[in-house]
Structure 1
Amino acid sequence: MTSLRQFRLPDVGEGLTEGEILQWLVAVGDTVVVNQPLCEVETAKAAVELPSPFAGTVTELLYEVGTTVDVGSPIITIDTSGGKVDVAPVPDPAAGDEPEVEAGLIGGPAPGGRTSVLVGYGPRNTEAKRRPRVTGSAAAARATAPQVLPGADYGTGVAEKPALLPDQPQRAPLLATAPDMTVKPVRHGGLEVGRQTEANARDELAPTSRRAAPGRGAPRPLAKPPVRKYAKDLGVDLATLTGSGPGGVITREDVDAATAPSSSSPSSPLTSPGSRQEGAVVRGTAGEQRIPVKGVRKHTAAAMVASAFTAPHVTEFLTVDVTRTMKLRTRLAARPELAGVKVSPLLFVARAVLLAARRHPMVNSSWDEAAQEIVVHGQVNLGIAAATPRGLVVPNIKDAGSLPLAGLAGALADLTATARAGRTAPADMTGGTMTITNVGVFGVDTGTPILNPGESVILAFGAVREMPWVHRGKIAVRQVTQLALSFDHRIVDGELGSRFLADVGALLHDPGTALAF
């Protein structure tokens, strides 16, 4: 007996509402075991693989790659009965041999001799089908009824009035008219059937810049809304295309074929394959691109807007001579306990931040708006901003203050490598208490960083450069960097922020100062 189980998209983070299916790792007919990865999903925080909670045979993949799915929606169906599932084509209803509906499904037998008729009762066992296009005598019959057809296509995006059927009274929708427009009633058979402005009447007589739909009163071309928008962005008239999809539906490939350059004409910047990036839409002038905002980038944008307009930011700057720290870095990199790990300047900045936070614990706090309280955290979960192909992520090292220098170096190396590979676990990006952003790796001196939501301080670490510096009363070439500290002024006032930044600078200027902390 078949036993079908559906796996629903889980909330793999804290409060996530949706995820995009990047790729399926199984196919229909595959046998899976418990904890075998089923698919890779990109959430607002990371790309993760979802393991199977069931063992059995895959019978259905409910969504295609690239689809954004709400948390809690079924994404895959697995037969857990242990029997082999034969994937057969859907029988043709016209042949008259329809398969028997399984008990519990819509249209099948139910307990007590009844028939399951409730929508949503049991798993889905049918596919939505588009109604056939009205043609021939049926279209002629519909022409006798007074109706207004919608616009035929998305040619150039220029607004056009719907085409009227023959012998149909002219009507106009209720529009907000300008003061200089004259509204006239439209009458038919002695009755007022609508109102029309003189501006609308003139629009009907004015020539349009797009090609008219083939045939008066022709049906609207069949295409899904995303395809219609795609065609509109590229300036393609759907009425000129022949759909290759089921039932004559126009697909995205049909639109691409219409915009592809012919072999006899040179490629233009607008239509050449190299002028478009994957996931981007070129519209307007040549070279303009539009990239959908989703996944990590969408979450980052929302978080930064919420932070910028919620927490009152203050930023302070400090220029530091870090020549001694750079010399210490060279000596420590040769020690056996640090062999195999990267001893970077970021390691010493992180160590200085952790030591200064131990001296000023109030900076390791967050603002609880609901309770109207300041929460001082017991440990430092140090976040490191990392740039990835999917956008900016901020994974954090849990209880970083308890790690020795070698352990902190290893944690930093693992964190950055995992983030760049797009494999950061959602748990590693939650619960952060303060953040460091290393803009120096890009050759940038400083900036004004925005707080990670829920945190009270963030430190920007700039590039280390050789610069003329007053050292022991003389001008000398020293290695210098700039620090920028942004903090939430509701929690950290100017004095506390200044003392914390000064302590970080002192530790980087003279690492021996750490003995006094």
Structure 2
Amino acid sequence: MTAQTFNLPDLGEGLTESEVLNWKIKVGEHVSLNQIIAEVETAKAVVELPSPFAGIVQKLHADEGQVVPVGAALVTFDNDKAPEDAGGDTPAPTGERTPTLVGYGAPAASGKRPARRGRSAAPAAAEQSATPEPVVHHEVARSTPPVRKFARDHGIEISSVVGTGPHGLVLRRDVEALLRQPAAAAAPAQSSVPAASGGQDRRIKISAMRRATAKAMVQSAFTAPHATEFLTVDVTKSLELIDKLRQRREFRDTKVNFTSLSALLVSRLLLKFPALNSRWDEVNDEIIQFGAVNLGMAVASDRGLLVPVVKEAQNKALEPLAAELNQLVALGRSGDLTPAQLSGGTFSITNVGVFGVDAGTPILPPGQTGILALGQVKPRPWEYQGELALRSTCTLALSFDHRVVDGKEASEFLAGIGAVLEDPGMMNFFI
């Protein structure tokens, strides 16, 4: 009898642990190569783990709801062939696997990179892959794919179901119970938060993503000395420019707005102020100035704050930049971002104005030196051409790491953004 143990792989940049949501297998069951064996939740995504081995399950090393560190044992398999495979099944892969950003990596001796397997790949194609990769999902409510399908088939929004499984896992019986309620068919997509009754306290389990976000924010707030500067500007001309752009053929299929225009200005202006596109390297006693502007865009999702990244934003014109931002925001809200799309940011923008907020003090994402908050665009009495007029205004808030950036650099950067937003004709002067 030959036993092989599958250890939790590295599922993404900087991720050190995952929570086992549910097992798809049980002890004594025969598992084939690439068969989904478990759903786990990282700080960034819900991931379906395919098996890198074929064999019979000897032991499950973690319970549902348990947090497992990367490299710890998950499942032990007996690699002897099951009776139904005696006719010549695909042999289980051997050789030590090297953790990679996403996926398990090729066996060490092969030197080959694994081929990516799409989420919708047919089972037959999956069986041919010797080096499976995890399939990433972001779900509003944690549940298994069969339960989600069952809910969809009956017109139930899965986020409206209160889960009774381990740590809030939505089970089939939970959906069935909701279907038996008289109001379920008439209003299946109502609030996912059960109504409070009698002033009772509620205890909500902290998700892996929320826990990681909190840890990162605390680390950033108490490690980097934050400073924030504010500037309120007249953006009437920028809004007029956006209206004109929307009439052009190039932008008929792309939503261009104040956020995408600001992203263009920021990504270009950072080339003139590289200190704001840098990182303080405590270990090596260095300041690393990034060669590219990987622009993060904060997105509020049902799973918490996400910051997808536009890679090399400094090389993108307004139309492709706006299109990519729109796509990333949509993926963030629907829960379909991959770990790669959430990694590698060098500077970030957060738009608090969409919530009707004038300004705020944004906290730096770990490893970044600057973040710009855009307040709401609203009419204010404003001095214009020597007279008082009603103009569209916006308050900008720039937080920066004062170890890397001096007040002069930060002020000039913020003033440059404000000057171009006030008069887009100044773009060539500042950028």
- TM-score surpassing 0.5? yes
Residue pairs, 1:219-234, within 5 angstroms: none
Query: Is 1:459 equivalent to 2:394 in the alignment?
Result: no
Query: Is 1:358 equivalent to 2:271 in the alignment?
Result: yes
Find the partner of 1:449 among 362, 368, 393. 362
Query: Is 1:372 equivalent to 2:285 in the alignment?
Result: yes
What RMSD, in angstroms, separates the aligned Cα atoms of the two structures? 3.1
1:59-112 per-position Cα deviation (integer Å, ceiling 9, x unaligned):
7655444332222233345565553579xxxxxxxxxxxxxxxxxxxxxxxxxx
Partner of 1:333: 246
Find the partner of 2:311 among 398, 414, 421. 398
Following superposition, the deviation at residue 410 of structure 1 comes to: 2.0
Partner of 2:184: none
Partner of 1:261: none
- Identity fraction in percent: 48
**DSSP-derived class of the 1:359 partner:** coil
**DSSP-derived class of the 1:455 partner:** coil
Q: Distance in 1 between matches of 2:281 and 2:317?
A: 31
Q: Distance in 1 between matches of 2:295 and 2:49?
A: 27
Q: Distance in 1 between matches of 2:49 and 2:386?
A: 62
Query: Is 1:427 equivalent to 2:340 in the alignment?
Result: yes
**DSSP-derived class of the 2:223 partner:** coil
- Report the AA paired with residue 13 of structure 1: G
Residue pairs, 1:297-316, within 5 angstroms: 297-316=210-229
CA contact (8 A) 1:9 1:75 kept: yes
1:374-426 per-position Cα deviation (integer Å, ceiling 9, x unaligned):
11111111111122222212221211111222221122122212222333222
Partner of 2:15: 16
Q: Distance in 2 between matches of 1:78 and 1:457?
A: 48
Query: Is 1:323 equivalent to 2:236 in the alignment?
Result: yes
Q: Distance in 2 between matches of 1:57 and 1:512?
A: 69
CA contact (8 A) 2:358 2:394 kept: yes
Partner of 1:42: 41
Partner of 1:53: 52
Q: Distance in 1 between matches of 2:316 and 2:255?
A: 16
Q: Distance in 2 between matches of 1:327 and 1:354?
A: 21
Following superposition, the deviation at residue 329 of structure 1 comes to: 1.6
- Report the AA paired with residue 434 of structure 1: F
Residue pairs, 1:146-157, within 5 angstroms: none
**DSSP-derived class of the 1:355 partner:** helix
Q: Distance in 2 between matches of 1:302 and 1:30?
A: 39
- Report the AA paired with residue 488 of structure 1: D
Following superposition, the deviation at residue 307 of structure 1 comes to: 1.1
Following superposition, the deviation at residue 335 of structure 1 comes to: 2.8
Residue pairs, 1:245-264, within 5 angstroms: none
**DSSP-derived class of the 1:290 partner:** coil
Partner of 2:68: 69
**DSSP-derived class of the 1:350 partner:** helix
Deviates more, 1:492-501 or 1:9-18: 9-18
Partner of 1:233: none
- Report the AA paired with residue 350 of structure 1: A
Q: CA 1:413–1:32 in 2, change beyond 3 Å: closer, same or farther?
A: farther
Partner of 2:204: 291
Q: CA 1:80–1:472 in 2, change beyond 3 Å: closer, same or farther?
A: farther
CA contact (8 A) 1:319 1:482 kept: yes
Following superposition, the deviation at residue 436 of structure 1 comes to: 0.6
Q: TM-score, normalised by structure 2?
A: 0.68
Q: CA 1:483–1:41 in 2, change beyond 3 Å: closer, same or farther?
A: same
**DSSP-derived class of the 1:289 partner:** coil
Higher gyration radius (CA): 1
- Report the AA paired with residue 287 of structure 2: I
Q: Distance in 1 between matches of 2:204 and 2:76?
A: 32
Q: CA 1:446–1:50 in 2, change beyond 3 Å: closer, same or farther?
A: same
Q: CA 1:4–1:451 in 2, change beyond 3 Å: closer, same or farther?
A: same
- Report the AA paired with residue 446 of structure 1: A
Unmatched 5+ stretches in structure 2: 86-165, 168-191
Q: CA 1:369–1:56 in 2, change beyond 3 Å: closer, same or farther?
A: same
Q: Distance in 2 between matches of 1:30 and 1:415?
A: 39
Unmatched 5+ stretches in structure 1: 87-250, 253-275
Q: TM-score, normalised by structure 1?
A: 0.57
Query: Is 1:468 equivalent to 2:381 in the alignment?
Result: yes
1:29-88 per-position Cα deviation (integer Å, ceiling 9, x unaligned):
575443x554332112333333333356767655444332222233345565553579xx
Q: CA 1:402–1:81 in 2, change beyond 3 Å: closer, same or farther?
A: farther
Query: Is 1:479 equivalent to 2:392 in the alignment?
Result: yes
Q: Distance in 1 between matches of 2:259 and 2:420?
A: 13
Q: Distance in 1 between matches of 2:394 and 2:232?
A: 6
**DSSP-derived class of the 2:270 partner:** helix
Q: Distance in 2 between matches of 1:484 and 1:84?
A: 66
Task: Tell me the matched-pair count.
Answer: 326
Following superposition, the deviation at residue 486 of structure 1 comes to: 0.7
Following superposition, the deviation at residue 347 of structure 1 comes to: 0.3
Following superposition, the deviation at residue 313 of structure 1 comes to: 1.0
Q: Distance in 2 between matches of 1:513 and 1:302?
A: 41
Residue pairs, 1:42-121, within 5 angstroms: 42-55=41-54, 62-77=61-76, 83-84=82-83
Following superposition, the deviation at residue 333 of structure 1 comes to: 2.3
CA contact (8 A) 2:4 2:78 kept: yes
Partner of 1:488: 401
Deviates more, 1:68-77 or 1:483-492: 68-77
- Which fold has the larger relative contact order, with Cα–Cα distance below 8 Å and residues 6 or more apart in sequence? 2
Partner of 1:417: 330
Q: CA 1:23–1:322 in 2, change beyond 3 Å: closer, same or farther?
A: farther
Q: Distance in 1 between matches of 2:226 and 2:63?
A: 43
- Report the AA paired with residue 315 of structure 2: S
CA contact (8 A) 1:47 1:422 kept: no
Following superposition, the deviation at residue 23 of structure 1 comes to: 4.1
**DSSP-derived class of the 1:309 partner:** helix
1:437-456 per-position Cα deviation (integer Å, ceiling 9, x unaligned):
11111111110111111111
